[in-house]
Amino acid sequence: MATTVNQKINHIFSLLEKLANGQELYPQDTNLQEELFGENNELKDAIKANERSLRRYLEEIHQLYGHIVLTEKKTKEFSDRKVTIYRVTDKKDVSSVLKFFLEEKSDLTWVIQMLHEQDPSLLHELESDTKKAIKDELKDDEDIFLFSAKPFEVLESQEQKKIFSNLKRAVKLHEYRTIFYYYNENIVYENVKCLKMIYTQNNWYVGVETEMELFKLLRIHFVKEVQYSEKNTYQKSVLQKYQSYFNRFENAMSLVTKEPKTAILKVSSAKAVYFEEGMKPFFKSQKFIKKNTDGSVEFSVSYTQPLEILPFIKQWLPDMVLNAPSDLKKELKKELEESISKLAN
């Protein structure tokens, strides 16, 4: 007999209560199936139908509450094979990590201070002993550290968190989605393959492939709604098309359709210390070439279009010189001349 709406609501509430009480739930649990749907009399078709219904309910809960309901693979008593279990986030997971920073890695306590400044709510629901230790640490360090830049983008509203969770799930399970996007105009990307969650330049993006097999990098802040697609899952092999792009990805201006070129740059002795061999690079592709007798340093960077690298070069003017290639030099000269002419006016 088909499940009514009221029965479904009761079933989901029952599952939520079990999760809240710390139980691990999984679709193959025949005792749980019997509790929800009644005895199945060992009929194979009935068992399969109950398992499908239970899996659907658990997935709906996970989609709605992905920030607190986790999935993981575990071996259960009925089978040697691992099954997907659903459980509520263990607050001890966060507490144990923070305890590690406090007790074992004192040079990393700045991480706790950074988390607190960026999103204080992350520390609200910890175990009481951990919370007290962290409060004491924050008090001791409040005059030591200053974080002027945001190391990560905090998705503040519940709607943004749901969108992020939905897209993350789609990437993890190689699923399609329909994405409603607003950037200067409303755009609907139907049935896109969700390929990768990307964090760059302090912002979150999702990389997708459209129905026309075009790659798009969409900033999650501009995603207004995510809907399940009429299509289900795509083949994991699709990701291989973009693996080289992901490997060389520099920033949001990196293009997937073009092979990278190499820019040769020289920085004066006044700023050379930031580009010395062994210093933290500004680009993943950055390679030290040599240090000249006048103290200047030469290095190379890969790029796929001018926008990927010119803003960086202009940031270091007049101490940075672009030596090659010639077409990029022309583009830089053109942009600088346009800027100067606007200043003159």
The segment(s) of the chain belonging to CATH 1.10.10 are 5-88
Q: Is residue 2 pLDDT above 50, yes or no?
A: no
Q: Is residue 279 pLDDT above 60, yes or no?
A: yes
158-248: CATH topology is: SH3 type barrels. (2.30.30)
The segment(s) of the chain belonging to CATH 2.30.30.100 are 158-248
Model pLDDT, residue 46? 58
* Segment 194-204 mean pLDDT: 92
Q: Is residue 319 pLDDT above 60, yes or no?
A: yes
Least confident of 86-100, 224-238, 325-339: 86-100
Percent above pLDDT 90 for the chain: 46
Query: Hey, which bits of the chain come out as E strands?
Result: 69-75, 82-88, 175-182, 186-200, 203-209, 215-219, 223-233, 261-267, 287-291, 297-303, 320-324
CA atoms within 13 A on the CB side of 103: 8
Other residues' Cβ atoms within 10 Å of the Cβ of residue 22: 9
Q: What order do you get walking across the sheet with 223-233 strand by strand?
A: 215-219, 203-209, 186-200, 175-182, 223-233
Closest CA to 296 of 312, 314, 318: 318
pTM greater than 0.75 (yes/no): no
66 vs 241: which has the higher pLDDT: 241
The answer to whether the CB of 172 falls within 8 A of the CB of 223 is no
Tens-digit pLDDT profile for residues 158-172: 788 889 989 998 999
Q: Which CATH architecture has domain 5-88?
A: Orthogonal Bundle (1.10)
